[in-house]
Structure 1
Amino acid sequence: MQKITLFALFFLGTFRLLAQQVPVHLKLTEPSKLPVIAATVQVMQVPDTTVVQYGLTDTLGTLTLSLTAGKPYRLVASSVGYRTLRQTFTVTTAKSTFTFILNEENQQLQEVRVTAARPLLRQEDDKMILDPEPLVSTSTSTLELLEKTPGLFVDPDGNVYLSSTTPATIYINGREQRMSTADIASMLKSLPPNSISHIEILRTPSAKYDASGSGGVVNVVLKKGVKIGLTGSVNAALHQGRYGNQMLGVNLTNHEGRRHSYLNLNYTHRNSYEKVETQRLLPNGNRIAQQAFTTFPSDVAYAGFGFGYEFSPKWEVNYDSRINYNLNNSASVNESVIRAASGGTLLSDNTNYLQNRSNVFSMSQGVTTKYKINEAGSELTTDFSYGYFENKGTQAYQTLFELPQVSELAGNGHWTNRRHVWAGQVDLRYKLPKQITLETGLKSTFQGFQSGTNYFVQQGDQLEVDDFRTNTFTYRDNINAAYVQGSKTFGAFILKVGTRLENTIMHGRQRIPADTSFRINRTDLFPYLFLSRSIGKIAGWEMRSYLVARRSITRPAYEYLNPFARFVDQYLYETGNPALRPQFTQNFEVNISVEERPIFAVGRNYTQDIFTNVLYQDPQNPALAYRSYDNLGRNSETYFRLLGAIPPGRKYFFVVGMQYNYNDYRGVYEERPLEFQRGSMSFFTFHQLKIDPLTTLSLNGFYRMKGQLQFYELSNFGNLNLNLNRQLLNKKLLASLSVTDLFFTNKYEFTLNQGSVSASGARINDTRRVGLSLRYNFGIRKKEERSGMPDFDSLERNSR
């Protein structure tokens, strides 16, 4: 793989940089030859649609662009009151002036509003882009929106899965969120869905992205100030299940000349429950059964704001900031009984009560710059960011024993976790002649993490230090990376190859109860290959195929490495594995799309030194079990995905798809050979029906058959959501009535039979809810922009 990549890079670099750029004059007219003023024009190369230029026609209906002679281009032109025009043309030195005719719409316009039918999902090179708008009105958080995205699966712990059994890496505005799963889930719950511009889904990210995304990348791109004048919305929502969620928020965006800014404020009150039932067979034949019921009330405040300035049409600077504050409370009741193997005699009976209260504060600051080197799309970008995360909490626990004798165990504790993350990167994309694009960049990330936990156990009237639960540790890491990749168009083919070099330095030190320090310093190479080809047309729509190959890494977090035991309940604890090695994955995928809409994909993941969450019996106490992570060997995963759709724009459209995964584990578990195979099938869909011009009905859901989470085998489960939208007050108010998990099927049973562990159970959450959402949109325009004559200089600058 590395040799192929280096050869392809050398092959791309041998092309001579020769091409002739000519000024091309485009003119748009009505059938009567009158000019079409202020029409939006988009021109892209064929088949390399990554080379795009934008502009607006002037008072003569003309627009001048610098294009390459001898190359075919596709033009998309639109204007209010006219039908959108799509046409191809070829630039030559003999012909550099083209005239196109826009036909008028037959319908009479009631108001001036520019709209475009966007597909829910579309393929763009090596990533799939989701338009979240149809899902926003039924969601109260970004995590809920991801749960309803066709083809994604979010487990109850907040992990997001794409095609692999390894969770995807979460990005916000192109920045990796280097936090634990629980912290990322908390952040996504606090992020309002109406602040999202779009979501990028990268199952096989290019060399430009961090190599840590073995399970793919989900990049949540937030809205910025992109409107002319001041616009915004006020949002309110109420969703009721067994417990209720309430949300209130406001969004403002402003764009005046070269300045733009945005502000997003949101408050949410949440409450939900989780019910878990488990049964586990002990080595002596006895059986332990547990029933846990937990509620999770919380209050969340979110603020996002930023501004940007265009110093010139080529150079702009943007500042973005996000602040979250979560006040979380949880209360849990866990009943545990142990019965004898023979006769089922009750041997032990106890109830554990747990109260948690935590204050979570997070802050993210980022400054980005973009310099447009030329009109062909060459640009230099920089991104510098700082993130801070703090979690302070307290816990009180009490265990009441009825058998074998009446007794009580009680205690309390408190903790403080702080995380600092600094990151800086520089990226250069340069468009060369001969349809060659070169990309290169540098990135450096520093992370510092401090954790202190103090627990006390009640002994009579005194509190004594609980050594089993008390710990203090620090952790630092530094990841430095450099990448280079290039792309070239060969007729109907587009080839992109690259490689990424990453150096990883980790240092962890536990101070209490004992020193378990470790250091890691390693350097790895991660090649990447992307090949796209036009394979024909269906009903006039272009059909393209894609081949992607990538190597990636999954690094163990400090919690996975720290050997200190962490208490879960009186029969279960967690511990890390300091001998845990990183896992490496080779991914290969072939997919096909029609007019940028994905329809088919097949892929294979090869993972070596796979580390998996495992459950072992405690050798000292057969009633105890502990969770840890271990390198179990290798895993081969094959997946097949099929997607079909009717594009939006008419009265009814839908997206429906399926994905099949087959996993084959080969390794060693409890010093014995391990063989584990399982195939699972997932179906997902989204439907939208326009009942009348102001009312739409939508339905979305999934069904998962023989699901799998690590070595846990899941029963069949699914989710079906129904939503009714109605526009009111001259289309400024959107009212949405929704039912989530209509038939209460998003619950499952699980079994675990590996080595000496035999367990089963069920997991149920507060997923069925009825909700009402309201969103009022408003806008304030400057007087000169309402006068009827457009400001062409400002409009052309904004279109870029």
Structure 2
Amino acid sequence: MQHRSWLFALLLITCTSYTAFGQNSPFRIRLRETGGQPVIGANLQLIDASDTTRRVYAVTDTAGRAQFMVPVARNYQLRATSVGYKPLLRNVVSANTPEGLTFVMPSDNVMLQAVSVTAAKPLVRQEDDKTIVDPEPIANTSTSAYEIMEKTPGLFLDPDGNVYLSSTTPATIYINGREQKMSAADIATMLKSLPPNSIARMEILRTPSARYDASGSGGVVNIILKKGVKIGMTGSANAGFNQGRFGNQFAGVNINNNNNGRTSYLNLNYTLRNNYEKVQSSRKFSADSALAQNAYTTYPAQIFYAGYGLGFELPKKWELNLDGRFSWNGATSESTNNNLISRLSTGKLVSDNLNTVTNRNNVVSFSQGVATKYRIDSAGSELTTDMSYNFIGNRGGQEYNTQYRLPERPATMGEGSFDNQRHLFAAQVDLRYKLMKGLMLETGAKTSIQNFTSNGDYVNIVGGVRKPDLARTNAFDYRENINAAYLQASQTFGAFVLKGGLRMENTNMVGHQRIPADTSFAIHRTDLFPYVFLSRRLMKIAGFDLRGYLVYRRSITRPTYDYLNPFARYVDQYLYETGNPALRPQFTENYEVNISVDERPIFAVGRNYTRDIFTNVVYQDPVNRSIAVRTYDNLGVNRETYFRLLGAIPPGKRYFFVVGTQYNYNDYAGLYENRPLNFQRGSWSFFTFHSFKIDKRSTATMNGFIRTKGQLQFYELSNFGMLNLSVNRKFLQDKLLITLTANDLLFTNYYRFTLQQGTVAATGLRRNDTRRFGLTLRYNFGIRKREERVNMFNIETPQ
């Protein structure tokens, strides 16, 4: 079956026909002000109504004229923008006439020191095989990029920082088109320090094309940071706090500049955070004994974040862009865990002890990227290169102590230090070339090299005597090299748009544990990943285009270094965490059908078939049944069926909303503890976002979600959800924005869980410091000159 899929994808690429669309002819557009003066230097896009990937660009001259070379008698959407004018959006039919078409662009409000150019943009819209999220309505009520993702309709985040789209497999996080190969906790920390108004847009790719890494089985969330896209210098200063049981405080500044073909941005942010987690659980040791645990952990931290970018328009259609990020996170977690062991038959208390653990972490993260772009022609052909280096280092220590109250005996204690470092280098080149007769070819290659080292040194302290803890002291090295190449083609056939691609990835993974035991593993493999995308304009309803999409994709999920590291990490005296060096990658085949109306997604249904699925599992120690080991293992296959429904009133008037639902049904079949595993679970998710413009300066928003019969790996979750409210108002000529927020107002974002797999039977409750009330102040500043709109080189490029 797989070979047939690969062959089908290759045939789609090699046998795409050259359908003729007629001879290109001049199509002229003229833009005027309300008073009749020409609009100079406006950016124009002409988008083919039958294939939105086909776009041509132009800039008006000193007479307000622009010309396109396109086939005649075709339907297009014309978009025109210029600083100081309201955006223009019209449906047009191309014609070769001397006078062309003339449109009037009304002036927008332009003030010295500040300019506000607004357009009625939907919160969520569909663009070919990706969903575009405009974060601006959510950013005004959020304190970080992490909060924006929490409030985005259709995105779900678990307490560990994983992001979920259509699947129960976590999505892969990209920033500016680069994969962030970090753990979910590290990515969550980075996103919590990223200012909310530094994000230009988010691209959600549930089924990414062959251009993207095949590792995104759960889809991709690509966060695009703002650049100096508006002429002149603009920026904002922000500060605020929110208070739950503990408080968070933050302050930062963002500066963007665009001047004579040079763009730049600078983001600085400092955050003090604190949070708590409460986990109550009960787990059977045997048929007549059970362990009840009540753990309470606090997570105070201080974070400094800096991000910058520089962009240059070079001669002969070249662009050069530099961007980088630096963050420092000083975090401390303090945990107390009360453990009670009882006889189930008599209710008699057998053991009572208190375990305390303190972890101290200093995490330094650094990223530097260099990218170039060469515009081959005005039809969207381009050559891009991208190189990046990432470093993340985590150095800290751990102290643990157990006091035995029943039966009484001397306390046990220990401490340790650890040092983890990760280096990642990636380089890629991509070519998009528009051939005659509407055929678009894409090809490229990428290589990434990752080196990870982990060292831990632990001791036990007994009667004041320090002895090496040989079970926890470790040294582990991991190296990864992934090489990839892809070929992809897209073609329009009348009302159809067909895109097919094939990606080849060569994987090399080598791990070596040197302490406490000499173990190693190596993975060398080459895999093919086909991709097929078919789109068709279905009909027109009330003037809106109804379009259908069909997507097929094969992908891989590779175990990361923390999943493979066999070092046993101490949680408490009854629970350890360890990686599994024998873990195999899992492969997923995804089929999805979706429908959008006027670029707004409304319905999708899909199927994921995953084999060699690996997930977090809990095993009981075969020697000591009081100890559980949390690790990862390949369990078998999973068939996941889902559908998604989305409805909205687009922005433009006083009130708009987005509301939707998603249903996932999972059917696992495999082996668990060498016994047959059969697990089925269906889960509903409901989400919504509402915005009401109280007056010209005040806006109220409400967003939230509900999940029923949720699932986290093999944990069955109770119903839970969250409701957020906010009100903001502008002051000082709309420069100052003050926002009041209430997150998780009803304090319902917690869940009870049940785990019943093999010999492990556990129930419990997990709660975090999610109900918070806050105040945010944001002051926008800028100096932009209206006459700078005549810059003829400020052309919006295709995405």
Q: Does 1:10 align with 2:14?
A: yes
Distance (Å, rounded) in 2 between the aligned partners of 1:628 and 1:29: 66
**Which residue of the other structure, out of 137, 142, 154, is the alignment partner of 1:139?**
142
Structure 2 distance, partners of 1:85, 1:555, is 44
Q: Deviations over 1:217-241 (max 9, x none)?
A: 1111111122211111101111111
Q: CA RMSD in A?
A: 2.0
Structure-1 residue corresponding to 2:496? 493
Residue of structure 1 in register with 2:697 after alignment? 694
Q: 1:363 is matched by which residue type in structure 2?
A: F
Q: Structure 1 residues 55, 411: CA separation in 2 closer, same or farther (over 3 Å shift)? A: same
Distance of aligned partners of 1:453 and 1:213 in 2 relative to their CA distance in 1, 3 Å threshold: same
- Higher RCO (C-alpha 8 Å, min separation 6): 2
Decide whether aligned partners of structure 1 residues 45 and 96 sit closer, same or farther in structure 2, where only a CA change above 3 A counts.
farther
Residue pairs, 1:428-577, within 5 angstroms: 428-577=431-580
Q: Distance in 1 between matches of 2:49 and 2:683?
A: 39
SS of alignment partner, residue 344 of structure 2: coil
Q: Which 10-residue stretch deviates more, 188-197 or 611-620?
A: 188-197
Change (3 A) 1:408 1:53: same
Match of residue 792 from structure 1: 790
1:605-754 equivalences under 5 Å are 605-754=608-757
8 Å CA contact retained: 1:151, 1:684: yes
| 1:371-410 alignment, distance < 5 Å | 371-410=374-413
Output the CA distance in 2 between the equivalents of 1:83 and 1:403: 74
Alignment partners' CA distance in 1, 2:259 and 2:38: 28
Structure 1 regions of 5+ residues with no counterpart? none
Alignment correspondent of 1:305: 308
Between the aligned partners of 2:693 and 2:394, the Cα distance in structure 1 is 46
Quick one: which amino acid aligns to residue 668 of structure 1?
A: L
Name the structure 2 match of 1:86: 90
Shift of 1:403: 1.2
Q: Where do 1:185-200 residues align within 5 Å?
A: 185-200=188-203
Count of matched residue pairs: 791
Offset of residue 33 of structure 1: 6.7
SS in 2 for 1:406: strand
Distance 2:247 2:180 in 1: 29
1:67 counterpart residue number: 70
Shift of 1:41: 2.8
TM-superposition CA deviations, 1:641-679 (whole Å, max 9, x none):
000000001010000000000000111111111111110
Secondary structure of 1:514's partner? coil
Q: What is the identity, as a one-letter code, of the residue corresponding to 2:549?
A: Y
Cα distance change, pair 16–128 in 1 and its aligned pair in 2 (3 A)? closer
Instruction: Look up the equivalent residue of 2:15 and give its one-letter code.
Output: F
- Check whether the contact 1:350–1:400 (CA below 8 A) recurs between aligned residues: yes
TM-score, length-scaled by structure 2: 0.96
**Could you say what secondary structure the match of 1:210 adopts?**
coil
User: Which position in structure 2 is the counterpart of 1:580?
Assistant: 583
Letter in 1 for 2:422: R
Aligned counterparts of 1:613 and 1:799: Cα–Cα separation in 2: 43
Give the aligned partner of residue 103 of structure 2.
101
Aligned residue for 1:580, secondary structure, equals coil
Q: Structure 2: how far apart are the matches of 1:488 and 1:267?
A: 48
User: For residue 24 of structure 1, what is the amino acid of its counterpart?
Assistant: F
The Cα of 1:759 is off from its aligned counterpart by 0.2
Distance in 2 separating the partners of 1:78 and 1:735: 29
Q: Structure 1 residue 240 and structure 2 residue 238: aligned?
A: no
1:219 and 2:217 are equivalent in the alignment: no
What is the CA-CA distance between 1:16 and the residue it aligns to?
7.9
SS at structure 2 position matched to 1:376: coil
**Distance change >3 Å, CA 592–CA 394, structure 1 → 2:** same
- In structure 2, the residue matched to 1:25 is 28
User: What displacement does 1:10 show?
Assistant: 1.4
TM-superposition CA deviations, 1:659-707 (whole Å, max 9, x none): 0000001111111111111100000000000010100000000000000
Identify the residue that residue 204 of structure 1 maps to in structure 2. Answer: 207
Partner of residue 249, structure 1: 252
Matching residue of 2:119: 116
CA deviations 1:22-80 (Å, max 9, x no partner) are: 44322234798764555543211221112223444334221123334564432234665
Asked if structure 2 preserves the Cα contact closer than 8 Å seen for 1:601 and 1:642, the reply is yes
Cα 1:168–1:293, aligned 2, differ >3 Å: closer, same or farther? same
Deviates more, 1:330-339 or 1:51-60: 51-60
Distance apart, 1:372 and its partner CA = 0.2
Report whether the alignment pairs 1:48 with 2:45: no
Contact conserved, 2:690 with 2:702, CA < 8 A, in 1? Answer: yes
1:66–1:375 Cα contact (<8 Å) kept: no
Query: What is the identity, as a one-letter code, of the residue corresponding to 1:659?
Result: Q
Report the CA distance between 1:438 and its aligned residue. 0.5
Distance 1:286 1:577 in 2: 29
Q: 1:256 to 1:83 in 2, by over 3 A?
A: closer
Q: Secondary structure at the match of 2:563?
A: helix
Whether the 8 Å contact between 2:587 and 2:612 is mirrored in structure 1 is yes
User: Structure 1 residue 563: deviation in Å?
Assistant: 3.2
Q: Secondary structure at 2:320's aligned position in 1?
A: strand
Give the AA of the match of 1:471. Answer: N
Kept in 1: contact 2:635–2:672 (CA 8 A): yes
What displacement does 1:340 show?
1.0
Q: Contact 1:735–1:772 at 8 Å: present in 2 too?
A: yes
Q: Deviations over 1:457-510 (max 9, x none)?
A: 102222111111110011001000000110001111110000100000011000
**How many Å apart are 1:214 and its aligned residue?**
0.5
8 Å CA contact 2:77, 2:89 repeated in 1? no
Return the letter of the residue paired with 1:101. F
Q: SS where residue 548 of structure 1 aligns?
A: strand
Is contact 1:358–1:393 with CA below 8 Å preserved after alignment?
yes
- Which string of whole-angstrom CA distances, capped at 9 and with x for unpartnered residues, describes residues 582-627 of structure 1? 1100001111111111000000000001111111111101111111
Cα pair 1:666 1:674 within 8 Å, conserved: yes
> What secondary structure sits across from 2:368 in the alignment?
strand
Distance 1:576 1:260 in 2: 45
8 A contact 2:488–2:501 mirrored in 1: yes
Deviates more, 1:473-482 or 1:173-182: 173-182
Tell me whether 1:420 sits opposite 2:423 in the alignment. yes
In 2, the alpha carbon distance for the partners of 1:561 and 1:689 equals 49
Task: Return the offset for 1:15.
Answer: 2.8
Instruction: For 2:6 and 2:21, locate their aligned partners in 1 and report how far apart those are by CA, in whole Å.
Output: 29
Q: CA deviation at 1:198?
A: 0.8
Query: Aligned pair in 2 of structure 1 residues 558, 108: CA closer, same or farther (>3 Å)?
Result: closer
- What per-residue deviation string (whole Å, max 9, x for no partner) do you get for residues 310-340 of structure 1? 1136111000010000000111100001001
- How does the TM-score come out when normalised to structure 1? 0.96
Deviations 1:705-724 (CA, angstroms, capped at 9, x unpaired): 00000100000000000010
Q: Specify whether residues 40 and 443 from structure 1 end up closer, same or farther in structure 2 by C-alpha distance, changes over 3 A only.
A: closer
CA–CA distance in structure 2, aligned partners of residues 399 and 256 of structure 1: 62
Aligned AA (1:508): G
The yes-or-no answer on 1:156 pairing with 2:154 is: no
The secondary structure found in structure 2 opposite 1:420 is strand
The alignment partner of 1:560 has SS state of helix
1:293 aligns with 2:296: yes
Change (3 A) 1:734 1:32: closer
* Structure 2 letter corresponding to 1:45: D
Cα distance between partner residues in 2 of 1:499 and 1:524? 10
Q: Distance in 2 between matches of 1:460 and 1:200?
A: 57
**Distance apart, 1:81 and its partner CA:** 6.3
Contact kept in structure 2, 1:213 and 1:554, CA below 8 Å = yes
Counterpart Cα distance in 1 of 2:722 and 2:705: 5
